[in-house]
Structure 1
Amino acid sequence: MILGNIVGKTTTLDFKFLIKDTAKKFQYVQALHKEGYYILAQILEIEKDIEKSIAICSIIGYNNGTLKKLTMPLDPGSEVLDASEDFIRATLSLNESGALIGKLNGKENVNVNLDLNKLLTKHLVVLAKTGSGKSYATAVLIEELLEKKVPVLIIDPHNEYNTLKYENQDEKERLFQYGLNPKKYILLEYAINIDENRDARKLKLNINNITASELIHLLPAKLSNIQMGLLYSALKNINKIDFDELIMNLEVEDNSTKFILINIIDHIKRLEIFSSSPTNLKELIQPGKATTINLQGIPDEIKEIVVYKLAKDLFEERKKNSIAPFFFVVEEAQNFVPERNFKETKCSSILRQIVAEGRKFGISVATISQRPSRIDKNIIANASTQIILKVTNPNDIRAIVNSIENITLETEKEIVNMPIGTAMITGIADIPLFVDIRPRKSMHGGKTILLFNEKAALESEGDLLLIVKPTYSAKDMSLIKGQEIKTTMVPCLFLECIQNNNGFNLLINLNSNEFVLDIDNYKSSLINMSEIKLSTNQQKLFDLALNLSEFKASDLFAKSGLMFSEVHDGINSLTNKGIFMKLGEKYKLNEKFSFFTNLINYATYSRPDYEKINPDAKLDILYPKEKIIDYLKKFIEINDCKECFLVKYQ
C-alpha cells in the first residue's frame, strides 16, 4: 500500500514524506532506492497542519546478506509503501527460531525471537518502573529457556516466580493466538526462612569452605580494628569454621568488646543459614527446571549474605565444570549490585565478577531492576540484550540512554509513553525494536496487590470470599464436559503445619472431615479421629511413640524423663486403651494412629486467595474446626489456620 511520496531534503539517515493515506507513529515503511533495492525505515514522528500531514522517518537500512546503512540518500518524489511483513523479517534478519518473546509492535504476524546462543553466552538486563511488567517479561523468557532444557536459577526477593508451577488459565485465548497453550513448569523453591515460606525447601549454605577473612566480610555489622583483631585471634586455631567453637574462643578473651562479637556470631548461628551439610548445588542446577531462592521475609543484610555465598559457590563450581551451565536471574538487582557511588553491598563484588567473567564459564546473567539509575552502570553496558519497559523517572531514563547505544531522542521519549505489555528490546537488530510481549504460559505472580480486582468488582456479583479453586474455570469445565456445570462451595480449613521438621499445608473438608488431596479431581482421605483422653505422662509416651516404628519400655524410659514405674504404668494404660499394640517384648502404635505420623503425605500445594464468586450452592460445616485442630495438635505443630471455601464443580 502506497502511503505517500518523499518531499524536501533527504539524507542517508532520514527523510520525510507527504502522507496521502493513513500512517502511524513507529510504523515500518519501505522505499525503492535508485540502485535497485528497497530500504526499510520507521516513522518516528508525524507533523500535521491544516493542509497536510508529514511523516518524519529514520532509515534502518537494507539487507545485502547483512543489514547495511545507505551511502546515497533516497530521491525526493520516491514512493513510500507500508513495509510488508516478509520484508521486515528479511531486512532485520528476525530468526524464526529461538526464544519467542512476542510480536513486533503493529505487526501481529511478525514474531520476535531472541537468539538463544547470544542469550546463553552473554548477558541481559530487564529495566522498568514498578508495575510495568518486568517480572512478567522475565518469566516469558524463563519459560522459553525451560522449553530448551536450560537450567534457571532465580534470586527472588518477593517470591514472584513461584507461580511458574501453575498453568495460566486466565489468558488461554491470547495464548491460542500465538499457537500456545497454558503450561506449568517444574519449579524447585528454596528459602532460608521456611516458617514463612511453607512451600520451600530449607536452603543451607556451605560453612566448610569459608575463610576467616570471608567470615568477617559476611558479618552483618561493621567491625572496629579491635574487634577484627579479637576475631582473628579467636579464629587462628580453628581449622574449619564452627560457630560454637568460635564463641567459646571469644568468651575467654579479656576484652569487653567481645560481647558485641559474640552476639553477632550467635545471631548468625541462630539464623541457621550455614551448615556443615549444605544444600547440594547440583540440586539447584538441573536441566529443564527452574530453582527460586525465595528471600521473602528476611532482612536486607541477610539477603546480601545469601546471594554472596550462593553466587560465589556456584561460580567456583562452574569453573570446575562440576555443575551444568545455567541462566542466573537476579531480581531487584539495584539492592544487590548498586551503583558504586550509592553504596556497596556484601555481594556487589562477586556479582560484578560473574558479569565480567561468567560467560567464559557458562553463566549467563539476567539482571532485573526497577531503578536503572541505582544499578551499577557496567551491568547495563555489558548486557548484549536489553529489555526496557515503561520508565518515567528522569534519572532512570538518563541512566538507560547513557548505557545503551542506538537510542534516539524520539525513542527516549517513547520509553516514557510505552503502554504496559510493550517493551523496547535492543540486541536483536541494529536498532531498538518495540515488541508486544507474548502472554505467559504459566500463571503470573508478580502483580501489585489491590484490595479488589477492579474488573471483577465491576463485572461480577457475589461475595468476596477466601477460596481455593481448581486449575480450570467453570466455563472451561462446561466446554470439556459438554454440559452445564454447577459450582458448589465446600467449607474448608487451611492449616500451615510442621511435623518431623518439615513444613507443609493441609486442606480439610469441614463438611465431610476429609483431607483434600487433589483439588482438580477432588480426591480425599477420611480423617479417622479416634477419641484420645490422656494424662500428662501418657501424652509424653504417646508423643515419643509417634516417631518410633517399634519400641521397648526401656526406649521410652530413656527419652521420657519419667520414673520407670511411671513408664510401665503408662504403657499398660495405653495398651489397654488400644493406642499401643504389644508385639512380644516390643510395642508399636496402633495403625489407626500411625496414619497421623506422616501427614505430609496428605499435603496440599494450593493456597487460598480472595475472589468474588457467586456459587450455585454452599455446603454447611458439619465438623467444628476447633475439634479438628485440638486433635491434630497431638501429632503436628500448627502455625496458622484459615477458614476458606473449596470451589467444587458438579
Structure 2
Amino acid sequence: MVIGKIIGKTSTLDFKFKVEENAKKFQYLKIPFRNGNVLAQIIEMEKNIDEMVASCIILGFNKEGEGLEPLLVPLEPGNEVLDADDEFVKNSLGLERGEGAFIGNLDGRKNLKVSLDLNKVLTKHVCILAKSGSGKSYSAGVLLEEIIEEKIPLLILDPHGEYSSMKKPNNEEKEKLEGIGLLPKGYENNLQEYSPDTVVNSECMPIKLSAKSLTPNMLIHLLPAKLSNAQLGLLYAALQNKSNVDFDEIMSSLDAEESNLKYTVLNIIEYLKKLEIFSDNPTSLQELVQPGKASIINLKGIQPEVSEIVVFKLLKDLFEGRKKGNIPPFFLVIEEAHNFCPERGFGEVKSSSVIRQIAAEGRKFGLGLCIISQRPARVDKNVLSQITTQMILKVTNPNDLKAISASVEGITAETEKEIRNIPIGTTMLVGVVNQPLLVNVRSRRSKHGGDAIDVLGSVKDKKEDFMDEMKKCDEGMLLTIRQKNTSDDIKLMSQRKIKEIKTNLVPCLFTRLKKDNTEFNILVNLNNEQVIINSETLRGVTLPKLSGLSPSQLKILKVAVDIEKFSPAELFDKSKVQFSEVYDVIKALTERGYFVKNDNYGLSDDVKIFSKLEEVQCYEKPDFVRINFDNKIVKKFEGEEIVKLLSNFFEVKESKECWLEVFEVVYEREEEVKV
C-alpha cells in the first residue's frame, strides 16, 4: 500500500516523504528502486497545519531477494513509499531462518519472529543493559530458557537469588504463551543452586572451591584487607617454597615470627579459613558444567568481600578447566555485572581481572559471556567493548547512555534518544543485523523472580490502615512446610471414593545441624518429640531424653555416638575423661539403657538416632504462606529443649519453629487414613 511520496533532498542514508496514508514511527518501508527495493524505517514524524512529513533512514538495498546491501545511489524525489510487507522485511533482515533462540517478535510485526544465533552468542558474547525495573532480568530469563532448551551448559552468578524461580512454570501467562505456540514450563530438573553459605540459602547445595589450586599469588590477591609492605613481607616468608596454600601451615609459620605485625596477618588468614569455602574436596567443575544443566551460584545475603572471593576463584578455575578441555563449552551469565567488574573509576574488585580475561579470550575456548547490568557506565569498558550482541532496554541516565554509545557499534544520536523512550517489554537488539531492531520480548515460559516486593501497594490501593493490613498478615501468614501433593492431587490419584480431606497443621522444629564438615536439616515433631522421617505419614523416631547426665557422662556419650561400637580404652583415649571415671560412666550409661554390652560395648537402639540423623534429613524448607486449615495439633514440647539436646552432639547452625501441613483423608466408609 502506497503511504506517501519522497520530497526534498535525498541521500544514500536518509530521506523524507509526505505522509498520505496512515504511518507511524519505526514503521518499515519499501521503496521500489531500479531493479530491486529499498528497505527503510521511519525514525521521526513532524506535523504542521497542511501536512505530515516522515524522516526516514535507509537500511539497505535488496536486489532480487538477495538480502541487504548498501544503497549507492540516492532515491529520486517523487518515488512512491510503500508499507513494507512481512515477507520483504523478513527476507531483507535475514529473519527467515527461524532457528536459534526465539527472543520475541519484531515491534509492530506480530508474525515476524526474532531469534538469536546461539553459536554467535556462545562465541561472541552478549549483554543486557537497562535501568532498574525495565525488564532486564525478565529478558535474561527468556534467553536462558532458550539456551537450556538447546542443552548448552549454563553457569549463572545470581547476587539476589532471582533465577531460582525458573524452576516453576509461568502459568500466569499461559494464554499469551499459547498465542506464540509455547506452553508454561518449569526447569526444576535442569537447575541446581549452589551457595557459599547454606545457612542463609538453605535450599542450595554448598559450593566449595579448590584449596589445592590456590597458589600463594592467588591468596595475596584474595586478601580481604590491605597489608603494609612489612606485613606482606611476613606473609611472603610464610608462603616461601610452597606450591599451594595450607592455612594451618601458614598460621603456624606466622605464629613462629617474633614481630607484632604478625597478628593482623594471622587474623586475616584465620578469617579466610573460617569462611569454609576452600576445601581439599571442592565442588567438581564437571558437576557445575554439564549439558542440559544450569548451575546457579546464589550469592543472596553473602557479604560483598566474600562474593568477590568466590567469583574470582570459581571463574579462574572454570576458565582454566575450559582451556584444558576438562569441561565442555558453556555460557556464563553475570547478573549485576557492575559489582563484579566495575569501571576503574568506581574501584577495583577481586573478580575484575578474570572477567576481563574471559571477555577478551573466552571466545577462543568456547566460553560465552552474558553481562547484565542496570548501570552500564559502571561496567568495565574493556568488558563491554568485547560484546558483539546487545539487548538494550530503557535507559535514561546520561552517563549510562554515553557508555552504551561508546561501546556499541551502530548507535547514533537518534538511536540514543530512542533508548530513553523504549517501553517496558521491548528491547533494542543490536548486532543481529546491521541496524538495531526493536523487539517485543516474548512471555517467559518459566516464572519470573525479579519483581520488586510491593510493601505498600495493596494498602494504598484499598486505602486501608497499614497496621490493620499487618494484623491480617499475622493472622493468615504462617511459617509452614507444604506438602508436594495438594488435596486436589490426592483426589485425582485416589482409587477410592473420598468423603472429606482435612488439613491439619503439626507444630515442628526445623533445625540445621553441622557435624564435621557436613550440614543438614532435620524436622522434629513438637507434639511427640519425634524426628520426622516421612512428612506425609508423620512417621518418625523418638529422641531419647538425656536429663540428669553429668558433664563426664555427656562427654563419653558424645564420643560413643561418633564411633557407635567401642571399648573402654577407646572411650578413654578419645574423651580425655580420667581413666578412673571411665568404667563408672560406662556402667551408669549402660544401666540407663544408653549402652548395650555384647563382645564389646555399643549404642542402644534408642540412642543410635544421634548417629543416624543425617540419613533422615529434611529437604523441604518452611516459608511464610497463607494457608487454610481445619486443625492445629497441640504443641507438647518446647523447641528450646530440643535445641539444647541436639547441641550436645552437633553444632546447631539455625533453628525455627514452624508448621507442617498434613492431610487427613476420610473415605466414604468412615475409614480414616493420613496421607
Q: Is the CA contact 2:394–2:419 (under 8 Å) kept in the aligned structure 1?
A: yes
Task: Give 1:16's aligned residue.
Answer: 16
Partner Cα separation in structure 2 for residue 170 and residue 456 of structure 1: 24
3-state SS of paired residue (1:527): strand
Partner Cα separation in structure 2 for residue 515 and residue 177 of structure 1: 49
Letter in 1 for 2:98: E
2:545 to 528, 532, 554: 532
Task: Give 2:612's aligned residue.
Answer: 597
3-state SS of paired residue (2:192): strand
Partner Cα separation in structure 2 for residue 409 and residue 525 of structure 1: 67
3-state SS of paired residue (2:538): strand
Task: Give 2:320's aligned residue.
Answer: 316
Q: Report the Cα offset of residue 117 of structure 1.
A: 0.8
| Corresponding position: 1:108 with 2:110 | yes
Letter in 2 for 1:641: K
Q: Structure 2 matches for 1:484-503, cutoff 5 A?
A: 490=505, 493=508, 495-500=510-515, 501-503=517-519
Task: Give 1:334's aligned residue.
Answer: 338
Q: Which moved more, 1:3-12 or 1:394-403?
A: 3-12
Task: Give 2:670's aligned residue.
Answer: none
Unmatched segments (≥5 aa) in structure 2: 666-675
| Corresponding position: 1:627 with 2:626 | no
Task: Give 1:174's aligned residue.
Answer: 176
Q: Report the Cα offset of residue 398 of structure 1.
A: 0.8
Task: Give 2:398's aligned residue.
Answer: 394
Task: Give 1:641's aligned residue.
Answer: 656
Q: Is the CA contact 1:515–1:525 (under 8 Å) kept in the aligned structure 2?
A: no
Task: Give 1:134's aligned residue.
Answer: 136
Distance 1:98 1:6, change over 3 A: same
Q: Report the Cα offset of residue 53 of structure 1.
A: 2.8
| Corresponding position: 1:346 with 2:350 | yes
Q: Is the CA contact 1:608–1:644 (under 8 Å) kept in the aligned structure 2?
A: no
1:585 to 588, 594, 600: 600
Distance 1:22 1:507, change over 3 A: farther
Partner Cα separation in structure 2 for residue 176 and residue 362 of structure 1: 34
Q: Report the Cα offset of residue 453 of structure 1.
A: 6.1
Letter in 2 for 1:39: V
3-state SS of paired residue (1:121): helix
Distance 1:218 1:379, change over 3 A: same
Q: Report the Cα offset of residue 235 of structure 1.
A: 2.1
Q: Report the Cα offset of residue 600 of structure 1.
A: 6.0
Q: Structure 2 matches for 1:450-465, cutoff 5 A?
A: 450-451=454-455, 454=458, 463=473, 465=477
Task: Give 2:38's aligned residue.
Answer: 39
Calculate the TM-score normalised by the size of structure 1: 0.86
Partner Cα separation in structure 2 for residue 252 and residue 554 of structure 1: 36
Q: Is the CA contact 2:531–2:541 (under 8 Å) kept in the aligned structure 1?
A: no
Distance 1:229 1:80, change over 3 A: same
Partner Cα separation in structure 2 for residue 639 and residue 492 of structure 1: 17
Letter in 1 for 2:123: T
3-state SS of paired residue (1:399): helix
- Residue by residue over 1:133-177, the C-alpha shift from the partner in whole angstroms, topping out at 9 and shown as x without a partner, is 222222221221121111111222222222233333333333222
Aligned length: 641
| Corresponding position: 1:408 with 2:403 | no
- Residue by residue over 1:293-329, the C-alpha shift from the partner in whole angstroms, topping out at 9 and shown as x without a partner, is 2233333233222222222222222221111111111
Q: Report the Cα offset of residue 283 of structure 1.
A: 1.7
Q: Report the Cα offset of residue 97 of structure 1.
A: 0.9
Task: Give 1:608's aligned residue.
Answer: 623
Task: Give 2:48's aligned residue.
Answer: 49
Letter in 2 for 1:260: T
Task: Give 1:61's aligned residue.
Answer: 60
Q: Report the Cα offset of residue 245 of structure 1.
A: 1.9
Q: Report the Cα offset of residue 36 of structure 1.
A: 3.8
Q: Is the CA contact 2:510–2:655 (under 8 Å) kept in the aligned structure 1?
A: yes
Task: Give 2:672's aligned residue.
Answer: none
| Corresponding position: 1:195 with 2:199 | yes
Q: Which moved more, 1:61-70 or 1:460-469?
A: 460-469
Q: Is the CA contact 1:199–1:503 (under 8 Å) kept in the aligned structure 2?
A: no
Partner Cα separation in structure 2 for residue 562 and residue 547 of structure 1: 16
Distance 1:630 1:254, change over 3 A: closer
Unmatched segments (≥5 aa) in structure 1: none
Q: Which moved more, 1:37-46 or 1:147-156?
A: 37-46
| Corresponding position: 1:226 with 2:230 | yes
CA RMSD of aligned residues (A): 3.8
Q: Which moved more, 1:346-355 or 1:575-584?
A: 575-584
Q: Is the CA contact 1:474–1:649 (under 8 Å) kept in the aligned structure 2?
A: no
Sequence identity (%): 43
Q: Structure 2 matches for 1:215-364, cutoff 5 A?
A: 215-364=219-368
Distance 1:115 1:282, change over 3 A: same
Calculate the TM-score normalised by the size of structure 2: 0.84
Distance 1:354 1:32, change over 3 A: same
Q: Is the CA contact 1:325–1:363 (under 8 Å) kept in the aligned structure 2?
A: yes
- Residue by residue over 1:390-444, the C-alpha shift from the partner in whole angstroms, topping out at 9 and shown as x without a partner, is 1111100111012111123332122122222221111111111112222222222
Distance 1:530 1:504, change over 3 A: closer
- Residue by residue over 1:97-142, the C-alpha shift from the partner in whole angstroms, topping out at 9 and shown as x without a partner, is 1111222222222221110110111111111122222222222212
